Amino acid sequence: MEGHKMPMVRLPFPDAEVYFEPHFFTEEESDLYFKELMGEVNWQQESIKMFGKELPMPRLTAWYGDKGYTYSGLHNKPQPWLPVLLQLKEKVEQASGHTYNSVLLNLYRSGQDSMGWHSDDEAALGQEPSIASLNFGGERKFSFKHKYRKDTKPQSINLSHGSLLLMQGPTQHYWLHHVPKTARAVEPRINLTFRKVVR
């Protein structure tokens, strides 16, 4: 492992290397980042093709970075970095000891917005991708389930305002993750996943 500089807590999942820091940013810093990202990011309503139909994605998205990348069947033509995104990139790079060249942003407008089960295992991300995920706004549950081992229980964590989650090593090979819908009243949430597109 390239080694992270922060003493982040490693979650004890088999076949995974997942670290979590619930208070990577203070409440005040997180409030400012939330506002800035809400206002400055060029949020898009993309659609997905399902059963031959075009359906709106259950969240808004935006893609910034150095290189194009195909995600969920969409080709994301990246927009040039915003200063706030470069600032956040630098902070997560310091914490993780990895470098990133792109970021996917997700805006969950309400508890009805969600993300389905998947792994971030696209060839474009290389063999053992390091993904740094930052969270601002309404806290949402994030669950993991093992792809192959039936004896391994699904795992969940709450992605709090200002938290940082790192997924690296074999995590994407063995585990799926998702953000389920919730009937609870939740504030809008912004998630940023920093990635390194290698080809």
Ligand X SMILES: O=C(O)CCC(=O)C(=O)O
With CB under 6 A as the contact rule, the residue among 8, 103, 125, 179 that binds ligand X is 179
Q: Which one, 96 or 133, has the nearer CB to ligand X?
A: 133
Answer yes or no whether residue 21 interacts with Mn ion by CB under 5 A.
no
CB 27 → Mn ion: shortest distance, Å?
Answer: 26
Say how far apart CA 155 and CA 142 lie, in whole Å: 8
| Per-residue x/- track, 124-143, ligand X (CB under 6 A) | ---------x--------x-
Closest by Cα among 127, 136, 128 to 165: 136
Write out the binding residues for ligand X, residues 56-115 only, by CB under 6 A: 104, 106, 115
Identify the residue among 24, 120, 125, 160 touching ligand X (CB under 6 A).
Answer: 120
Phi, psi dihedral angles at 143 (to 5 degrees): -115, 150
Which residues make Cβ contacts (< 8 Å) with residue 185, sequence separation at least 6?
A: 111
Q: Which of Mn ion, ligand X, none does residue 186 bind to, with CB < 5 to 8 Å depending on kind?
A: none
Side chain identity at residue 43, one-letter code: W
Q: Catalog residues that contact ligand X under the rule CB under 6 A.
A: 104, 106, 115, 120, 133, 142, 159, 177, 179, 191, 193
Q: Catalog residues that contact Mn ion under the rule CB under 5 A.
A: 120
